[in-house]
Amino acid sequence: MDLVERYVALWNETDASARRKLIELLWSEDGVHLLQPPREMRDRATALGFDQAVLAARGHAAIEQRVRRGHEDFLAPAGVTLAARGNTDQLGDTVKFNWELVDGTGQARSTGLEILTLAADGRIAVDHQFFES
């Protein structure tokens, strides 16, 4: 299973133990997951004088919590799964691919872009997640 397949499998995994193992395989110990905040949050941060709002999880435990909450609060209740669009590209230590949140009928309910910067050991050092729709 390649990096993107493992990444997608992680977000769809319902078993906490299996998710933890995938996180350890995918991310370096001090790896970071950065999520683009929703527009409302970014606008509010700007109104408060911040250059940007950042949602970040650093390290395996924080990433595990982020994935668990994402699955429990968004994917499972909406009945969607993450699917890669099949357009993975790699340039040096950077991997990018688009994804969809797909419902039971195969309809894409949301789309996004993932940009992964890899550490020397091939695991994710930094994960940038952008929602496009």
Q: What's this model's pTM, rounded to 2 decimal places?
A: 0.92
Residue range of the domain that includes 55: 3-131
Burial class (CB in 10 A: 0-12, 13-18, 19+), 119: middle
Question: Which DSSP letter does residue 130 get?
Answer: E
Number of domains within the chain: 1
What CATH code is carried by the domain that includes residue 28? 3.10.450.50
Considering only the C-alpha atoms of the chain, give the largest distance between any 2 of them, rounded to a whole number of Å.
44
C-beta atoms surrounding 88 within 10 Å: 16
Spell out the per-residue pLDDT of the chain, length 133, in tens: 699 999 999 999 999 999 999 999 999 999 999 999 988 999 999 999 998 888 999 999 999 999 999 999 999 999 999 999 999 999 999 999 999 999 999 999 999 999 999 999 999 999 999 999 8
